[in-house]
Amino acid sequence: MTAARSVRPNAIVAVLAYAGIVVALMQTVIIPLVPQLPGLLHASTSDAAWAITATLLAAAVATPTIGRLGDMYGKRRMLLVSLVVLVAGSVVTALADSLLPAIIGRTLQGLSSAVIPLGISIMRDELPPRRLGSAVAMMSASLGVGGALGLPAAAIIAEHADWHVLFWVSAGLGAVALALVVVLVPESSVRGGGRFDGVGAAGLSIALVALLLAISKGADWGWASGATLGLFATAVVVLVLWGLYELRRSSPLVDLRTLARRQILLTNLASTVIGFAMFAMSLVLPQLMQLPTATGFGLGRSMLDVGLVMAPSGLVMMAMAPVSARTSRTHGPKVTLMLAAVVVAIGYVLMILFMSQLWHFVLASVVIGAGIGLGYGAMPALIMSAVEPTETAAANSLNTLMRSIGTSVSSAVAGVVLAHMVAPLGPVLLPTQNGFRVVLALGAGAAVVALVVAFFIPGRRAAATAPAPAPAPAPVPVDVAALAGPAAEGAAPGGRTVRGRIHATAAGTVTVTAHGGDGTVLASTHAGPDGRYRLDGLPDGPVTLVVAQLPAVHEVVTVRAGLTRHDVALPAPAAPLADPAAAGAGEAR
């Protein structure tokens, strides 16, 4: 076992969660500057908005692409690349005094958005099963935590220092995350095969840029303008062509057949709606607090006050991570997601009814934050339980992308509502209180839709976070052709190689994963067309092999110390999901 794998799980979780929070900060660090951006960058208001739009578009392009690259070439490697790009983008923006360098820097910052799904995938590969649920929930919630905590911090810096300091601080935080990952996070041995689908990546990028650009700029350009309609049409046409192309690929960027599985499809749909619901609060609360008291409902507060009011919701999201994991372990992540949707809806109802005092906003945002924390832990658990370890990063990246699309749609819809429900205050038109209530009602409605969608997700408990006790598998003929002896020819340096053949009774991809005594994934591979597999770099002691054909694990066996060959005959694919940690049932003798 390498030195890297001796790192304590607590250290891995802390470093990855910190990296996720740093990336989330990039989404809010610029918010206190929005009113001043045109003057700071010597640009018009519409042009200055590209400093925000560029980050959104870059994140949409990078998230699925880097997730797939992580599955193929190493999740830690792509995590480091993402953090290097984040630091570079922060430095470029910190040095900028005009629009173009700022857009370039913010684009680079957006390219780091895959850090969170990559971190979740590393956790699945490296952590023992008993720790995985709460760790994944915390990593997933870091997106909201970083956003909520970053707003007051950014507001304080913006009020008391030059605006460039915000991005120098961002660069420093990113550099610390980069150093910690280098020192404390091991590289996963789990790899997916095939070649990178460059054409598929380009096609998906074009479609996403067209879609999100139309959504984010539609209000400025006009929803019926030629530019907006043309972009929507481009997105639809390119997505259709891209889908047809991906279905013909043996190694696609996004496996659409996997994506069409009911559990994954409905979870991604729920993620989109939850993203819509989450962002409605982020749009409404700051405006309600900052509108002048002369409106009769605005509180006339500063951006710093807004940040301080929203900060508790970020802390609650983090605190809900172990609660989400415990609920998923006991009742399944589907129930956790349904509970999350109910809590979010209650939070919006509270905000609709009470919006006249600071404590009203604190209470409502904390309730909504609790729901988001529950949901953000359940969604990756549902995704991971439906995909193979070699597809985890790509699948979680797509789920993160769906949430981002939900937030983009939420922003566009809220903008349309608030632009049309206005009343004059002196020479200006400001949104009415009823306009804000409509947006909040849409957030509550989105939470209800998420509840309905989650209800139809298959109720199978997620193996990734809550391995269920399973009856001992039926006796299976296991032929160990070679007992203790020297390592097989071609063994990887510093460890033994275990190889063999899987005799399967049904067609389909067979995955063989080796676990250590604490449940840590040591290596994973697919059996070839002839059933042969090979796992390199394993320790000399006993290891547990989990031989799986989705959706159920069919056999769990223990390979004793010194064994270098293990053949397994799989029964018909009807066995329930087994717990890798309870691997004594199929021990080879």
Closest CA to 25 of 75, 69, 77, 83: 83
Q: How confident is the model at residue 8 (pLDDT cuts 50, 70, 90)?
A: confident
Q: What sign for the dihedral angle of Cα 465, 24, 67, 53? A: positive
* Domain co-membership, 388 together with 536: no
Q: Does the pLDDT of residue 488 top 60, yes or no?
A: no
Q: Are strands 543-549 and 511-515 parallel, antiparallel or unpaired?
A: antiparallel
* Domain co-membership, 409 together with 519: no
- Could you tell me which residues come within 8 angstroms of residue 465 by beta carbon, excluding any fewer than 6 positions away? 129, 132, 133, 136, 325, 328, 329, 333, 381, 384, 385
Percent of the chain with pLDDT over 70: 84
* Domain co-membership, 424 together with 318: yes
* Domain co-membership, 441 together with 557: no
Per-residue pLDDT of 505-544, as tens digits, reads 566 677 888 877 656 677 888 787 777 888 887 777 777 7
Amino acid residing at 311: A
* Domain co-membership, 561 together with 428: no
In a domain, 151, yes or no: yes
Q: Does the pLDDT of residue 336 top 90, yes or no?
A: yes
pLDDT at 258: 76
Q: Does the pLDDT of residue 586 top 80, yes or no?
A: no
Q: How many helices (H) and strands (E) does the chain have?
A: 18, 9
Between vectors from CA 213 to CA 234 and to CA 268, what angle results, nearest 5°? Answer: 85
In a domain, 440, yes or no: yes
The larger pLDDT score, comparing residue 547 to residue 327, is at 327
pLDDT at 63: 83
3-state secondary structure of 457: coil
pLDDT at 464: 39
pLDDT at 589: 31
* Domain co-membership, 133 together with 275: yes
3-state secondary structure of 346: helix
In a domain, 218, yes or no: no
Lowest-confidence segment of 68-77, 277-286, 484-493 by average pLDDT = 484-493
* Domain co-membership, 178 together with 303: yes
For residue 486, whether the previous peptide bond is cis, meaning omega lies within 30 degrees of 0, is no
Query: Can you name the residues that pair with 513 across neighbouring β-strands?
Result: 524, 546
Q: Are strands 568-569 and 496-503 parallel, antiparallel or unpaired?
A: parallel
Q: Does the pLDDT of residue 78 top 60, yes or no?
A: yes
In a domain, 379, yes or no: yes
Lowest-confidence segment of 110-119, 292-301, 542-551, 577-586 by average pLDDT = 577-586
Q: Does the pLDDT of residue 111 top 60, yes or no?
A: yes
> Do residues 435 and 415 make contact, with C-beta atoms less than 8 angstroms apart?
no
Q: State the DSSP code for 556.
A: E
What CATH number corresponds to the domain at position 46? 1.20.1250.20
3-state secondary structure of 543: strand
pLDDT at 96: 92
What CATH number corresponds to the domain at position 521? 2.60.40.1120
In a domain, 228, yes or no: no
Give the domain-ending residue among 455, 477, 504.
455
pLDDT at 489: 38
- State which residues form the domain around 521: 496-586
- Mean pLDDT in residue range 439-456: 94
In a domain, 488, yes or no: no
Q: How confident is the model at residue 102 (pLDDT cuts 50, 70, 90)?
A: very high
- Mean pLDDT in residue range 29-45: 80
* Domain co-membership, 396 together with 525: no
Query: How far, in Å, are 465, 557, 579 from residue 472 at the CA level?
Result: 20, 11, 10
Q: Does the pLDDT of residue 153 top 70, yes or no?
A: yes
Q: How confident is the model at residue 472 (pLDDT cuts 50, 70, 90)?
A: very low
Integer Cα distance of 547 and 528 in angstroms: 13
Q: Are strands 428-431 and 422-425 parallel, antiparallel or unpaired?
A: antiparallel
pLDDT at 582: 39
* Domain co-membership, 518 together with 407: no
Q: CB 33: neighbour CB atoms within 10 A?
A: 19
> Do residues 166 and 331 make contact, with C-beta atoms less than 8 angstroms apart?
no
Integer Cα distance of 45 and 33 in angstroms: 12
Integer Cα distance of 580 and 335 in angstroms: 24
Percent of the chain with pLDDT over 90: 22
Amino acid residing at 383: I
Per-residue pLDDT of 361-404, as tens digits, reads 999 999 999 998 898 888 888 888 777 777 777 787 788 888 88
> Do residues 245 and 199 make contact, with C-beta atoms less than 8 angstroms apart?
yes
> Do residues 138 and 19 make contact, with C-beta atoms less than 8 angstroms apart?
no
pLDDT at 343: 96
Phi-psi region of 182 (alpha: psi -120 to 50; beta: other; left: phi over 0): alpha
Query: How far, in Å, are 60, 122, 235 from residue 388 at the CA level?
Result: 23, 13, 30
Mean pLDDT of the chain: 79
* Domain co-membership, 384 together with 317: yes
Q: Does the pLDDT of residue 475 top 80, yes or no?
A: no
In a domain, 572, yes or no: yes
Give the domain-ending residue among 397, 424, 455.
455
Q: Does the pLDDT of residue 229 top 90, yes or no?
A: yes
Lowest-confidence segment of 250-259, 272-281, 385-394, 421-430 by average pLDDT = 385-394
Query: Can you name the residues that pair with 190 across neighbouring β-strands?
Result: 524
Q: Does the pLDDT of residue 140 top 90, yes or no?
A: no
pLDDT at 161: 84
Q: State the DSSP code for 471.
A: P
Kindly state the tokens that stand for 502.
Answer: 């899987």
Give the domain-ending residue among 393, 424, 455.
455
Per-residue pLDDT of 156-170, as tens digits, reads 887 788 889 989 999
Amino acid residing at 508: G
Kindly state the tokens that stand for 378.
Answer: 């359940």
* Domain co-membership, 447 together with 511: no
Sheet holding 532-538, edge to edge: 532-538, 496-503, 568-569
Integer Cα distance of 511 and 547 in angstroms: 6
Kindly state the tokens that stand for 254.
Answer: 């996004």
pLDDT at 506: 62
* Domain co-membership, 295 together with 400: yes
Q: Does the pLDDT of residue 490 top 60, yes or no?
A: no
- Mean pLDDT in residue range 220-247: 91
**Which residue carries 């929930």 as its tokens?**
137
In a domain, 206, yes or no: no
pLDDT at 261: 83
Based on the structure, what is the number of domains in the chain? 2
Per-residue pLDDT of 169-199, as tens digits, reads 999 999 999 999 999 998 877 766 667 888 8
- Mean pLDDT in residue range 226-243: 93
